[in-house]
Structure 1
């Protein structure tokens, strides 16, 4: 909650990470500290009440960081001491080579059950996600690590979070977010993307994160059957048929509406599936969007919604 703006002009700035939130020029630190220290000391002596509030805030933040560190260490120790410490609801694959393995994060127990039955158990693991996970943009790190669904996800991947993340320990080379094709599914997908961007950004940067694309429709006429992934594609197929008589259209809003064979054929079969790879083209812009859409401040989010209202093409109310 405390923000200070310091203008520093550097001929050749070096930043750490794609989000460019931390300056990497080591020579700047001592000069800035020296320039600010004396003035800040005088200001605190003249404003004891404000100084006390700042100190209290710093102490609270310090306690939160320490709690997060202890929670993170606890997760890592459990993983090191207990080789069977994988989350109980994870249905693992038999393959042991991480580069050949896939993990599906599936919305809901029902769809998770269908995915478990429809998967290729040799290389595909399933982790059902119960409900909406914590919005980490609004939560302290210790609260994030105490959240059951996030702990299960962190443990399953095996790489840790934040500064302690070690990508060499990744247990699954491809991680898929698989949610329903409705507003709730989009919300859960956004919550998961927020978590990965804030705490597992290298997973995205190294091309390990994907979004599964389950079909929106099944269009059947006679013996011919089409799986359709967008309204535009549906309209094109219907135009091709011309006469709508005898055409059966089934809309899939939930993954649980498909049986295991259908889920495999449309969404999980590497030979047939359509997938989207998550990438970060502009780290600063991505940081701004997550802050606006998922953060505590309501006015920026309202302004964003109003400015983009006319661009909405699929509204579910």
Structure 2
């Protein structure tokens, strides 16, 4: 048995079961299903003359883009891989599943030509996007991991050529980038200011993302390439630090950069190379002493205690990183001795994918439900 649904997502999500036992890594039933799906779609598309203009038939990645499916088989003597039955290994299952699925899909396509055309059109879009992305990728990926001059005027590179000692600060805006460039440790810290709008990389197709200037800048600065060419050994910095304003707008920028890294450079997150800086939102002065706080609660508690002790605190809220002079930015956010960095980790890959899809995907209703559920906990900068 199989249930199939296509969505606007660009990801494939297939769950496989044998005798009602889930097989997280699929197996021969998944292989048979994929073979049948690709074959049936190409057979119908060629018969209906829907592949005109393409240099080849659609491949598996094309026809499975946006696919959500559940496959369930009953096997008398199942052979599994591992004690937890993560994968079905029975070789005879592949052909059996492939024949049933292919035959049933072709019947469905013949009886529902409108739905069949919609599925094929989506696959053709994927095919064309990959062709465009390959051409664009050739223009984006750097030839050498040492070509920091590829970003004149934007990337202020560090002196060190040892990736283990090097840090890349991805900074929101030119003014903050200027302060960061002046306040940094030039030996180990590079600064890349983002001047334009960062595209929501979870929402748009690959070809459009690769045309975005900010994406090109980040890709070139990292030096690892993307997609099948991604090579962590070429990473130029072993700390990639996202540094944006401490307010809601800054959090939005951080979310967009995290989305970009998650979708195109996930091995960097898995490897523990990605961090988020924690710049202060408030400065409180008591006499000649200065105190910095990451949020309203910390600041309010400090001010309350200071007043109770008879002191006169003077508070100042930073509107952005650009309001800090280079010395303040170094002291609060960039100095290894005093800064706070949060390492980005993924403990639950499936849950992480759900969150990114809900917050950054094309479907509005899940996002609306999330906002309504947590509206009372929102901290609005108004």
**How high is the TM-score relative to the length of structure 2?**
0.75
Secondary structure at the aligned position of 1:172 is classed as coil
Question: 1:152 aligns to what?
Answer: 217
Distance 1:286 1:82 in 2: 33
Alignment of 1:125-274 (within 5 A): 125-242=190-307, 246-274=312-340
Higher relative contact order (CA 8 A, sep 6+): 1
Distance 1:234 1:35, change over 3 A: same
Question: 1:58 aligns to what?
Answer: 123
Distance 1:301 1:258, change over 3 A: same
Equivalent of residue 13 in structure 1, options 10, 17, 23: 23
Distance 1:7 1:168 in 2: 33
Distance 2:343 2:155 in 1: 23
Distance 1:14 1:64 in 2: 29
Alignment of 1:63-102 (within 5 A): 63-76=128-141, 78-80=142-144, 83=147, 86-88=150-152, 89-102=154-167
Structure 2's unaligned 5+ residue stretches are 27-67, 72-85
Distance 1:31 1:206, change over 3 A: farther
Cα deviation 1:33-78 (Å, max 9, x = unaligned):
33311111222233334333332222121101221122223323x4
Secondary structure at the aligned position of 1:103 is classed as strand
Q: Quick check: 1:197–1:204 contact (8 Å CA) kept in 2? A: yes
Question: 2:360 aligns to what?
Answer: 294
Which deviates more, 224-233 or 168-177? 224-233
Q: Quick check: 2:307–2:313 contact (8 Å CA) kept in 1? A: no
Distance 2:6 2:128 in 1: 16
The Cα shift of 1:26 comes to 8.3
The Cα shift of 1:103 comes to 0.2
The Cα shift of 1:289 comes to 1.0
Structure 1's unaligned 5+ residue stretches are none
Distance 1:160 1:316 in 2: 37
**How high is the TM-score relative to the length of structure 1?**
0.89
Secondary structure at the aligned position of 2:169 is classed as strand
Distance 1:276 1:82 in 2: 27
Provide the aligned length of Structure 1 versus Structure 2: 311
Question: 1:116 aligns to what?
Answer: 181
Which has the greater radius of gyration?
2
Distance 1:199 1:157 in 2: 12
Secondary structure at the aligned position of 1:242 is classed as helix
Distance 2:88 2:129 in 1: 27
Q: Quick check: 1:103–1:124 contact (8 Å CA) kept in 2? A: yes
